[in-house]
Chains A and B, each alone.
Chain A
Amino acid sequence: MHHLRRTFLKLSGAIAAGAAASFLKVGNSLAATWNKSGFESKVTVEALKSLSASAATPSREIAISAPDIAENGAQVPVTVTSKIANTESISIVVDKNPFPLSSTFDFANGSEGYVSTKLKMGQTSNVIAIVKADGKFFTASKEVKVTIGGCGG
């Protein structure tokens, strides 16, 4: 596990040089809508700003289902359900990751405010859900501990 964490932490320095350059080279039309500034933000505050969600209101109508203790940080199952009416999008932020914003899911035409995925987590962290509904932002968070391995790897 710590190898993964090391890899992940190292990312922060190199991505600006390596990854950002390759994003720019991407020739598909969707790259235009890809939230570059958000995904390249190194702190949660900046990531939230990129989503215009800095002032998101805590909501009990957002449920985050994730293990209390994840077996490792490579594939942490996270499911977010929003019961807030007219949920338009869900973003998932892993506070302590080198790049906290992991994903944004926009819903339309009857899809529910529900998404399930698996995330990489560099270490124990809060997982934060940001929900946009009727143009307003709501949030909830849950701590996920990442298991530390016993055999040094």
Chain B
Amino acid sequence: MTVLFWVLAVAAVASGAAVFAVGSMARATFALLASFLCVGGELLLAGLHYLGVLVVLMMIMEMLVMAVFMVMYMMNPAGLMPMSMVHNRRGALAVAGGTFAVLVAGIVAIPWPARRGGPPHDPAFALGQAIMGPKMLVMMVIGIAILATMIATVVLATRTGRYGEDGAR
């Protein structure tokens, strides 16, 4: 169990780093997908079967959509030429490294609370009871956010915009 956890963890971080190291957008997309699949596996290991499968299925779809957008917008989707499109690489590395150092220091230094209670027999059932009961506000906000996003994306992405053909730009 622990060995599998670390194997998946290293794979998740390595493929996450590969996203910004490989030479093509398509490979970057699939590296990101690999990272998400590893995280889905970690959720399964933690006993969150429903959420783990949800992450796996959703991320496969999301990355396929992303691959389509890659081909639409990028000048070099197939990676036929080596590419590097970064700005301020050193600054970004310094910020990311510094953040990681601070986070690790916090993780090691903070006395985390001990485990309280045991996992329910069926965590998915417990989650469903929570979002349809005491945590219903969360579910309602998520629902409205998804609806707002659907409307906003369509309005943004149509050619004519909000005010019809005459109001385009």
Pairing of A with B:
no
